[in-house]
Amino acid sequence: MTTLIETERLLLREITLDDKEELFKLHSDPAVQYYTGEPVVESIEEIEKAIRGRINDYEKYGFGRWATILKDGMQFVGWAGLAYLPEFDEIDLGFRFLPEYWGLGLATEASRAILTYGFDTLNLRRIIAIALKDNKASINVMKKVGMEFEKFAPYELGSEDGVWYWCNKKLITKNNAQ
């Protein structure tokens, strides 16, 4: 599988059905799912369906959530990437990592590279990120990569417990130069 983005420690590539075991481990972990607003995944079939949706996103939009591989050992550590949210007509930066890789700066490293890719390669105008209000770690990543607070609004349709951050290329360039 072709690497789309490479950072100092990470490789990001499209998710495939070969990733189903690793994705099941990730999404069936209650600690991982706690701040996502999503239930714990209970079957490989659920993961296979989600992967097919990711593959459809790559074909439809030219981007998606990408498998994130730690170069040292070529270990799957989670996913990170962009997703079009039709309910909001926005492109969302998101990431999810296995707990043993939390606190190592991987989400920040991946997010910086994804924003650069989004603006420089995909020519996107605006990217948002949404987290639950209590998800301090994700909010800190948003701030570290140069995104700015936009509003409190739904994390999912029908809820008001989300914190929205946003950026464009000019804002990221300015904030990361400071």
DSSP structure string for the chain:
--EEEE-SSEEEEE--GGGHHHHHHHHT-HHHHTTTTSPPP--HHHHHHHHHHHHHHHHHHS--EEEEEETTTTEEEEEEEEEEETTTTEEEEEEEE-GGGTTSSHHHHHHHHHHHIIIIIS--S-EEEEEETT-HHHHHHHHHTT-EEEEEE-SSTT---EEEEEE-HHHHHHHHH-
Q: Domain range spanning residue 26? A: 3-177
Please give the pLDDT value at position 38.
Answer: 85
Total number of domains in the chain: 1
Please give the pLDDT value at position 157.
Answer: 52
| CATH number of the domain that residue 36 is part of | 3.40.630.30
Please give the pLDDT value at position 168.
Answer: 96
Tell me the average confidence (pLDDT) per consecutive run of 10 residues in the chain, 178 residues long.
93 96 96 89 95 93 96 97 94 97 97 97 97 93 97 71 93 80
Please give the pLDDT value at position 158.
Answer: 55
Please tell me whether the overall predicted TM-score, pTM, comes out greater than 0.85 for this model: yes
